[in-house]
Structure 1
Amino acid sequence: MLRKGSIAASLFWLSAGWLILALVTTGVLLTDLYSRALDTTLTQTLDFHVESLTGALLEKRDPQSPEIALADPRFERPRSGWYWIIRDGSGRLVNLSTSVVGIDLQAVGAAADAMGRSTEIINDPFGTQLRMVERVVTLGDDSYRITVAGNLTEILKLVDDFRGQAFIVLGAVGIMLAVMSAIVARIAMRPIARLSAAVEAVREGDSAEVSGSYPTEIAPLAEEVNELLRSNAQIIERARNQVGNLAHGLKTPLAVLRNESKASQGGLADVVSTETEKMSSMVSAYLERARLAARTSVVGKKADADKIMQRLVRVMGKIHPDVTLDFHRPEASLPWFRGDEADLEEIAGNLLDNACKWSKGQVGVTLAAETGGRGNQLLVRIEDNGPGLSEDDARKVLRRGVRLDEKTPGTGLGLDIVKELVDVYGGSLELKRSQLGGLLVELRLPTARLGSPARPPTL
């Protein structure tokens, strides 16, 4: 089908509108030409009858002669719409056809043309529209008016019948042309659909670049997209190298300052030690953010969420042997995560590790697919039977560096990094009260189509 707002639909409706206008105009013009042709034929027929009566009058030399007649039987039928009369110079009837009996047929009032012929359209007493042709003939000292009338209503009826048939035929032609237009529009748009599918394959991780051959009109677009992907990969690689260089460049001076402050005594040494620790934490945090931003900007990656979660549950079971982890997943195959495998491990690993640390021995993990207003999403639910969080604490704990219990080792950056990664991927993170009594974390992430990961982009 032609989707609303698509180029194919626009082309179809534009061509359909122009087609309707062209066919209606063609129908009107054909009907007008046919009407003119019939009227011209009728006029020529009437001229022929006038000439025949003129010849008979000149031959018989007597306008009242019964031998003056026309062979057309329509002139013998009353109310047929076909009449002829001959009047003398004073307008008195001297001869007429049988069909005129009982009818007062007026003379033509129009002026004569260069050939002495007058023509006019009138209605007879029965409502029949007539085309009248009249000619003045001189016989000796007398002049006579020969008038012949033909049935114009029959002509108009033929025109109406032709109009109806013409529009039926043109309507059938229009339907066939509209179907052809729709087919042509769909065929013409197929390269764009293939290009869209190729770009979608890159976004979903099935391909690292836009592949395939395209018409000359859109081939440059495909090349530009590929060039953009290559440029993006190069920029990301340079950013990674710069981040690494910055990390190495800052670690050494900070380590020297920290060592010097520990080797010295006094207030200044304590201040230097405290501030260098803060600087180290900030540098690590911002380097981590830069690393995450660079990594998640790579197009065309996806990961098997089911395998990753199974692996994380096994690892956390070894790290926290005193905690029972229950992993629930649907029987059907799950969609893949549209993103980097290491990012999903970092997001889910942080959340799972926090649940194990704060639980009282029981942690539940559920993995499922969810369809909602934001399309298909991967739903990860992690809940524990620990102390949980109030609504106010749940909002605070997602802030950078905020910790609700300073006794537990850590920097307080774990949840913030998780939240930032989730935001980068366009997902969502919610902290609620679990039915187990502790904290429930609901994580929603974008999904990709099932399949194997694409090869990494060539730099």
Structure 2
Amino acid sequence: MLRKGSIAASLFWLSAGWLVLGLVATGFLLTDLYSRALDTSLTQTLDFHVESLAGELLEAGDPRDESIVLADPRFERPRSGWYWVIRDGNGAVVNLSASMVGIDLPQIPVADRDASGRATAMLQDAFGTQMRVVERTVTLAPNSYTISVSGNFTEILELVDDFRGQAFIVLGAVGIMLAGMSAIVARFAMRPISRLSRAIEAVREGDSAEVSGSYPTEIAPLAEEVNELLRSNQQIIERARSQVGNLAHGLKTPIAVLRNEAFARKGALADIVQTEIEKMSNMVSTYLERARLAARTSVVGKKADATMIMLRLTRVMRKIHPNVTIAFQRPDASLPWFRGDEADLEEMAGNLLDNACKWSKGQVGVRLSSERGDKGTFLLIRIDDNGPGLSEEDAVKVLRRGVRLDEKTPGTGLGLDIVKELVDVYGGSLDFKRSALGGLLVELRLPTARLGGLVRQPQG
């Protein structure tokens, strides 16, 4: 089926439009040629009858002789449109066909005759019949006579109408077959572009590292350019990672030296330096972390199995928090994969699950599902606990870098901020709600990728 707005559909409608115009023009052209051919044939027949009457006249010697007849029976039938008449030099009728009873066949003006005395014209009889008339002057010493023979042109017009109808029926059938062939050709011609589209989608979904396959000469350079763009993107990301690492190491030592010197001294200046160093350290950490996350998530084609990652994380958390019961509701195999780096998903889900275990009163639930939204399908990770939960004000505070609501609980306060940074980079969402268990429900939504034909292996 041709999709609206596709190149194949555009090619089909363009070719179909020209095909319709061509077939219509062909139909009228064939009809005109057929009409001309019939008219020429009729004129030749009339010329033959004029010659026959001239021979009869010369043989009889008297134009009034009743033996002057034509064998064609149409000249015997009244109102047939087939008439002949012989006139003398004064224009008086001296002999005529039986079909001309009560009919006066007009004479062609002398000015329309050629050098041989022949003339032809289109006339109309008293009954409205269109006729082709041929006249010729014959000399029978000492007198000259004009022989006029007409043929029914209305019959030709009817034949032309029948031919036109049949021609358009045949051309219409041919047009339908050609249109079908045009659609097939359009789809066949667009197959390489469809294959290229699928290959690029496979790269985006993580099924392939580059655009593979052979393509026609017209689009092969496009596939090469896409692969070159992917390679260039990978190189840029690697250089960015390297530069971020170098920057981190380059700033770490000077900041540490300044901090140690400030702590070794007393006074207002030392306090100011310590405060500003902490701001600098937090700012450097923030932007280095963002650069690192952006570099990691800019890599095209990565995906991860959320089910296997959550199984692994729940096993680890059960060992770290032996007093907490973690109930993991495993989804079916149709759950879409996370479109991104596996380590990023572990970091996001691990931080959220670890916080739930720390704040719970011994009970944590984990559920995985997919959710359809305006921007496509999302992977939905729900983690809830039976702890104290969070107020709306606290839910906003915990996403700030370094903020900890309870200083007694171990941690740096950077976990949820890192999670929020990763969620924003991937275009997902992080929501805090009241859990049915009485504590906090965290809903993490992330972009999904196709399974790509992979089959999950059961794990305990």
Tell me whether the two structures share a fold, i.e. TM-score over 0.5. Answer: yes
Find the counterpart in structure 1 of residue 241 from structure 2: 240
C-alpha contact 1:78 1:99 (8 A) present in aligned 2: yes
C-alpha contact 1:285 1:413 (8 A) present in aligned 2: no
Please tell me whether residue 113 in structure 1 is matched to residue 140 in structure 2: no
* Partner Cα distance (2:130, 2:8) in 1: 51
Find the counterpart in structure 2 of residue 207 from structure 1: 208
Find the counterpart in structure 2 of residue 27 from structure 1: 27
Find the counterpart in structure 2 of residue 357 from structure 1: 358
Find the counterpart in structure 1 of residue 267 from structure 2: 266
Find the counterpart in structure 2 of residue 435 from structure 1: 436
* Partner Cα distance (2:296, 2:91) in 1: 109
* Partner Cα distance (2:303, 2:224) in 1: 24
Q: Which amino acid aligns with 1:204?
A: E
What is the CA distance between 1:404 and its match in structure 2? 5.2
Farther off after superposition, 368-377 or 142-151: 368-377
Find the counterpart in structure 2 of residue 51 from structure 1: 51
Find the counterpart in structure 1 of residue 175 from structure 2: 174
Q: Alpha carbons of 1:202 and 1:72: their partners in 2 closer, same or farther (altered >3 Å)? A: same
Q: Alpha carbons of 1:192 and 1:54: their partners in 2 closer, same or farther (altered >3 Å)? A: same
What is the CA distance between 1:2 and its match in structure 2? 1.5
Deviations 1:48-99 (A, max 9, x none): 1112112211222211111111111111122222111122233332211111
What is the CA distance between 1:269 and its match in structure 2? 2.7
Q: Alpha carbons of 1:286 and 1:100: their partners in 2 closer, same or farther (altered >3 Å)? A: same
Q: Alpha carbons of 1:451 and 1:64: their partners in 2 closer, same or farther (altered >3 Å)? A: closer
Find the counterpart in structure 1 of residue 4 from structure 2: 4
TM-score, normalisation: structure 2: 0.91
Question: Share of identical aligned residues, percent?
Answer: 80
C-alpha contact 1:329 1:368 (8 A) present in aligned 2: no
Find the counterpart in structure 1 of residue 95 from structure 2: 95
Q: Which amino acid aligns with 1:246?
A: L
Find the counterpart in structure 2 of residue 456 from structure 1: none
C-alpha contact 1:382 1:441 (8 A) present in aligned 2: yes
Cα RMSD (Å): 2.3
* Partner Cα distance (1:67, 1:127) in 2: 30
SS of alignment partner, residue 166 of structure 1: helix
Farther off after superposition, 228-237 or 385-394: 385-394
Q: Which amino acid aligns with 1:259?
A: N
Q: Which amino acid aligns with 2:384?
A: E
* Partner Cα distance (1:446, 1:346) in 2: 16
Q: Alpha carbons of 1:418 and 1:142: their partners in 2 closer, same or farther (altered >3 Å)? A: same
Deviations 1:318-364 (A, max 9, x none): 33333332212333442211110001111112222233333333322
What is the CA distance between 1:290 and its match in structure 2? 0.9
Find the counterpart in structure 2 of residue 292 from structure 1: 293
SS of alignment partner, residue 22 of structure 1: helix
Q: Alpha carbons of 1:5 and 1:434: their partners in 2 closer, same or farther (altered >3 Å)? A: same
What is the CA distance between 1:41 and its match in structure 2? 0.9
Deviations 1:100-119 (A, max 9, x none): 11323322347223332222
What is the CA distance between 1:18 and its match in structure 2? 1.3
Deviations 1:418-448 (A, max 9, x none): 2332232222333333333333322222222
Structure 1's unaligned 5+ residue stretches are 454-459
Farther off after superposition, 297-306 or 53-62: 53-62
Please tell me whether residue 414 in structure 1 is matched to residue 392 in structure 2: no
C-alpha contact 1:195 1:210 (8 A) present in aligned 2: yes
Find the counterpart in structure 2 of residue 326 from structure 1: 327
* Partner Cα distance (1:115, 1:359) in 2: 122
* Partner Cα distance (1:392, 1:60) in 2: 129
Please tell me whether residue 186 in structure 1 is matched to residue 187 in structure 2: yes
C-alpha contact 2:307 2:331 (8 A) present in aligned 1: no
Q: Which amino acid aligns with 1:367?
A: L
Please tell me whether residue 15 in structure 1 is matched to residue 3 in structure 2: no
* Partner Cα distance (2:6, 2:87) in 1: 74
* Partner Cα distance (1:220, 1:164) in 2: 50
What is the CA distance between 1:405 and its match in structure 2? 5.4
Q: What pairs with 1:118-133 in structure 2 (closer than 5 Å)?
A: 118-133=119-134
Farther off after superposition, 192-201 or 134-143: 134-143
Q: Alpha carbons of 1:90 and 1:217: their partners in 2 closer, same or farther (altered >3 Å)? A: same
C-alpha contact 1:335 1:447 (8 A) present in aligned 2: yes
* Partner Cα distance (2:398, 2:23) in 1: 71
SS of alignment partner, residue 38 of structure 2: helix
Find the counterpart in structure 2 of residue 457 from structure 1: none
Farther off after superposition, 306-315 or 433-442: 433-442
C-alpha contact 1:131 1:151 (8 A) present in aligned 2: yes
SS of alignment partner, residue 367 of structure 2: strand
Q: Alpha carbons of 1:184 and 1:451: their partners in 2 closer, same or farther (altered >3 Å)? A: closer
Q: Alpha carbons of 1:141 and 1:402: their partners in 2 closer, same or farther (altered >3 Å)? A: farther
SS of alignment partner, residue 69 of structure 1: coil
* Partner Cα distance (2:150, 2:205) in 1: 82
Farther off after superposition, 153-162 or 405-414: 405-414
TM-score, normalisation: structure 1: 0.92
C-alpha contact 1:369 1:379 (8 A) present in aligned 2: yes
Deviations 1:111-152 (A, max 9, x none): 223332222223323332211112233333433222111011
What is the CA distance between 1:219 and its match in structure 2? 1.3
* Partner Cα distance (1:64, 1:416) in 2: 123
* Partner Cα distance (2:394, 2:100) in 1: 110
